[in-house]
Structure 1
């Protein structure tokens, strides 16, 4: 089994190459191929994960697939130790160069691996993409990490995340007890619910005097949107399939069915039929493409900012520490929470998770995110709902009686139960467009819809204020001892969400009377983020080495060497022939002297310094050598690495 260790923010990750699965990007998405034996995942990091019908080994089978006219890119699929979820490298690499490395130095590195720069960020991170001439992106990242000129190089990975839905374990507006619970469901006479164990959504509508604003947009990021469903038809704005950038969303069983019920709980229309969402007047921005990929995560949250999303609902995540969201994931989400809505911030809502653990989904624990757990129709904690610090509120879901939600036209239902209970747990048929639903998957969009009602009451609230209102107005349920002295519980957060109280507080903060109808807000103009500037290549002048170069004089007010730092050195010019092993680039002459002395002492080899000017600033490149041949340089490099040095960069001296 072929294994590879790759660097990541969560420590090194050991991946094993799959012997059966490969990833293919086709020129025409979804086009069938004779060599494909089975379609496993339709979209993982932009690749279709498939098995190939070939008696050859996986490497040869993939090479054969790459040669097919319909295939643009083919890649191996991997598995992490102890995990059965496929992992794919998207081809994006996040690189941070060492301090002092200049533009031409950096370009030498990227050219060596045939990398294309797609973004140069102000924080020093360079986003690169492999090209057809590049090696495997996992091997590129591993090789870059060994270079002394590179601080870190993380390959962008994608892995299927967990959709937080549970099949109901225990049945149109009168059925929606989570909006207003009167102690029973209309056609379920033998199952008692707890009066008042609901989210108080109908009361919030009455307080508003309407069903919320039609100018608000709730974005749902998930897989499996049926945008022609009667409850969602006509509500769609700015749809996107994240990996392809297409506005056409894929449909059919292989693309999932989770997004449709989630969307309906938040925004299902009040059109006289079917069910009604918590914010039935709000529009729906569907983003198809559940992804761990850093780059695609950045793209989807940027899409929400650019296209005016007010609330972003995410009923998915992970509790696997190997796939804990990294700095770029958090940066993308925090950017939405601060830059969205014209600077007031998108309200971001994540599910706490359904694993029944004492800690919550890593995404839900990002500061500023509203983390949602689940309560039951009896106002108790749902046993499957994760507990722990970070939960904001809980919201009604299954665990007692389930939620009624929309279902896709291709939903095959729960095939593990009798046919009459495939969509409805009690076997009572409520039509072809709905099903029973639950988990924190259902609780999360319910809270997202309530956040839209809060913004309907007061569109000037920031995302942080909406989160604070939800938490301050929640109802304490469960036992008194479940809460600490600050009123916080690791089971319930600040309590079960109360839409009516939250809307009342939003109206108060906006200066409106408790029963008055707020003016209809308009969607603030969200400026399109500027295209990152293309860096202008610096003017680089490299002086011809004189026969006896003079070291540059230090600044008169700062001594170069002080105290015990006393060096003896001899300087002579060298011809630019042969090879050197570049160790670093430095801007301070005193540091150069110290590093040269350390290298000579540690490795017993000569050291060279190349002096150049980059954008008016002197740069000292430190190299071990010279070596007459590449073989001699390679042997010296091996010796240095064996002595504990980071792998130096081999370069012809003629390029200096």
Structure 2
């Protein structure tokens, strides 16, 4: 392969030309006879195909370009130690030197046979497109950069990104433990879950008095939407888009993926009496097909969401490859959505933290204003696959324990190498042809998207920044309380596991609206502090101690909800000690130890008379 080094907004990138793969645009139903395998249907708007190995790729591509069914042909490249094809889209972002005028620059672009798509005077950037008379856009970009009137010329590239779901390890509403976890999954013997290890979505519906608002639109950006699925066919569909072509029709079939269907169902599956229910069943769905690294297509996808009224944008994909981390133009596209969407209140943009088990997040989580979502399990633990690190906002229930249940596309072949019973369900028990087990941060992300739709149902005036703040402030601290810092932040769990009920309660409070009447068990506020003095005698279980009162109060609230017992927060020596229960004698307190340990706590019996 011949090597070429190009500029990106993140620095230089070395690419080597493939000897066999090329990208073609044309009529998808036909294929030139020279084409071997059709590998990827859409990378930067090109279908990636193979040409005969024995032929010189330059000659073979020139020959294929002459075919009437081929509109455009391009070379395909690879970065070192990476088997993902890199495709130039034909777009070049050219930033002019200060003082260079339109007429002067146009003469240069004409010389290279480039079409001007857009001029952005504030950034001194011109968006250019290669034409049939242009040379290879990578070569053209390098030539432009040699000119004194050009500050930079960045060729737009696309590369397949990672979809963040986890493969299964080898009337369904009751099995959706992520919405309300009773401590077991009906019909799944011998696999206990932790009671309360859920996103509190069912409780949020009760507090809200509805399943959310039909005026809220959730955009899912992904590959493979089956909009005829029983859980999605009754949805109100808003402004569907195939990103690479700009078409309003979405492709179907296994070549175009299966991932979007389960993601959409976790967020917004309809409550229609069958199948499963999404976190925001009444919300509208805006499906955008096509995962893309291309900066130009990234701008198209987010601008489409802004123009067509997306409130929440869910992205269960990304990369941890630093060579393809999003650059300046990706960042501007997301910033526009977060600041200009929803009439200036900002779209809520959510990205999956990633499934690589890294100590850093999917690079798209670094973009301004993004809510970064990791995963938690059915036992409120951290799954090893979920990336961790600074920037993580919250976690949400997914697999690693018992997986989520989600819709599956009609063309989804499942895991064909597994026995028939386990192609879709980890326990081999058939739950019908329309669903499958699902997980990863791909499952956690649309769950949080649905929760955000419930917040906007409670308070449509919330800004994107306020929604992010509410999610973080109302999350449940799971795992070892000691791993949270003075801010209440953990690198594994962010600010905690999302709590839809508390988040909706806070949104209603900010809106100045009382919540509908609910049972007393659901009417607790986010932080309830007992006014009475701590008892001076008796025994309890000391669960933890914190220097920060807020951390102690968060744990106290959670313990009250889990055990329905009084919780004492006593301050002594600068520490706030959290004590569960008040019992007449130590043996009575000790009887509570097994249940507390089952829920992940490590308490000890405390004599309350020693607190003063």
* 1:414 Cα deviation after fit: 1.6
Partner of 1:20: 20
> 1:70-89 maps to which residues of 2 (within 5 A)?
70-89=69-88
Partner of 2:109: 110
* 1:346 Cα deviation after fit: 0.7
* 1:107 Cα deviation after fit: 1.6
Partner of 1:465: 466
Partner of 2:246: 245
> 1:192-591 maps to which residues of 2 (within 5 A)?
192-235=192-235, 236-515=237-516
Any conservation in 1 of the 2:95–2:123 contact (CA below 8 Å)?
no
* 1:515 Cα deviation after fit: 2.3
C-alpha separation in 2, matches of 1:25 and 1:418: 39
Partner of 2:28: 29
C-alpha separation in 2, matches of 1:174 and 1:338: 39
C-alpha separation in 2, matches of 1:54 and 1:391: 45
Alpha carbon RMSD of aligned pairs, Å?
1.3
Any conservation in 2 of the 1:171–1:188 contact (CA below 8 Å)?
no
> Whose relative contact order is higher, 1 or 2, with alpha carbons under 8 Å and at least 6 apart?
1
* 1:45 Cα deviation after fit: 0.2
Unpaired runs of 5+ in structure 2?
519-612
Q: Which runs of 4+ in 1 moved over 3 A?
A: none
* 1:433 Cα deviation after fit: 0.1
Any conservation in 2 of the 1:375–1:398 contact (CA below 8 Å)?
yes
| Helix, strand or coil at the partner of 2:271 | coil
C-alpha separation in 1, matches of 2:232 and 2:517: 29
1:325-355 per-residue CA deviation (whole Å, 9 max, x = no partner) reads 1111011111111111111111000000000
| Helix, strand or coil at the partner of 1:271 | coil
C-alpha separation in 2, matches of 1:395 and 1:169: 19
* 1:234 Cα deviation after fit: 2.9
1:613-647 per-residue CA deviation (whole Å, 9 max, x = no partner) reads xxxxxxxxxxxxxxxxxxxxxxxxxxxxxxxxxxx
C-alpha separation in 2, matches of 1:30 and 1:299: 25
1:294-331 per-residue CA deviation (whole Å, 9 max, x = no partner) reads 00000010110111111000000011111111111011
Q: 1:318 and 1:292, CA in 2 relative to 1: closer, same or farther beyond 3 A?
A: same
| Helix, strand or coil at the partner of 1:336 | helix
Unpaired runs of 5+ in structure 1?
518-656
C-alpha separation in 2, matches of 1:2 and 1:170: 42
Any conservation in 1 of the 2:171–2:276 contact (CA below 8 Å)?
no
TM normalised by structure 2 equals: 0.83
* 1:171 Cα deviation after fit: 13
1:525-578 per-residue CA deviation (whole Å, 9 max, x = no partner) reads xxxxxxxxxxxxxxxxxxxxxxxxxxxxxxxxxxxxxxxxxxxxxxxxxxxxxx
1:164-202 per-residue CA deviation (whole Å, 9 max, x = no partner) reads 011122791000000000011111011000000000000
C-alpha separation in 2, matches of 1:484 and 1:171: 43
C-alpha separation in 2, matches of 1:341 and 1:99: 34
Q: 1:54 and 1:494, CA in 2 relative to 1: closer, same or farther beyond 3 A?
A: closer
Any conservation in 2 of the 1:171–1:424 contact (CA below 8 Å)?
no
Bigger shift: residues 320-329 or 97-106? 97-106
* 1:146 Cα deviation after fit: 1.5
* 1:148 Cα deviation after fit: 1.5
Partner of 2:172: 172
Partner of 2:605: none
Any conservation in 2 of the 1:171–1:404 contact (CA below 8 Å)?
no
Greater radius of gyration (CA):
1
Partner of 2:160: 160
2:45 is equivalent to residue 46 of structure 1: yes
| Helix, strand or coil at the partner of 1:360 | coil
1:98-157 per-residue CA deviation (whole Å, 9 max, x = no partner) reads 112222321222111111111011221110111111110000111111212111000000
Any conservation in 2 of the 1:370–1:467 contact (CA below 8 Å)?
yes
| Helix, strand or coil at the partner of 2:89 | strand
| Helix, strand or coil at the partner of 2:288 | strand
Partner of 1:612: none
Any conservation in 1 of the 2:24–2:70 contact (CA below 8 Å)?
yes
* 1:52 Cα deviation after fit: 2.3
2:72 is equivalent to residue 67 of structure 1: no
1:236-294 per-residue CA deviation (whole Å, 9 max, x = no partner) reads 22111011111111111111000000000000000000000000001110000100000
TM normalised by structure 1 equals: 0.78
* 1:54 Cα deviation after fit: 6.9
Any conservation in 1 of the 2:269–2:277 contact (CA below 8 Å)?
yes
C-alpha separation in 1, matches of 2:367 and 2:417: 36
Bigger shift: residues 49-58 or 198-207? 49-58
Q: 1:34 and 1:54, CA in 2 relative to 1: closer, same or farther beyond 3 A?
A: farther
C-alpha separation in 2, matches of 1:82 and 1:495: 36
C-alpha separation in 2, matches of 1:405 and 1:15: 39
Any conservation in 2 of the 1:171–1:187 contact (CA below 8 Å)?
no
| Helix, strand or coil at the partner of 1:221 | strand
| Helix, strand or coil at the partner of 1:173 | helix
C-alpha separation in 1, matches of 2:209 and 2:451: 15
2:101 is equivalent to residue 123 of structure 1: no
C-alpha separation in 1, matches of 2:424 and 2:101: 61
Any conservation in 2 of the 1:35–1:54 contact (CA below 8 Å)?
no
| Helix, strand or coil at the partner of 2:86 | strand
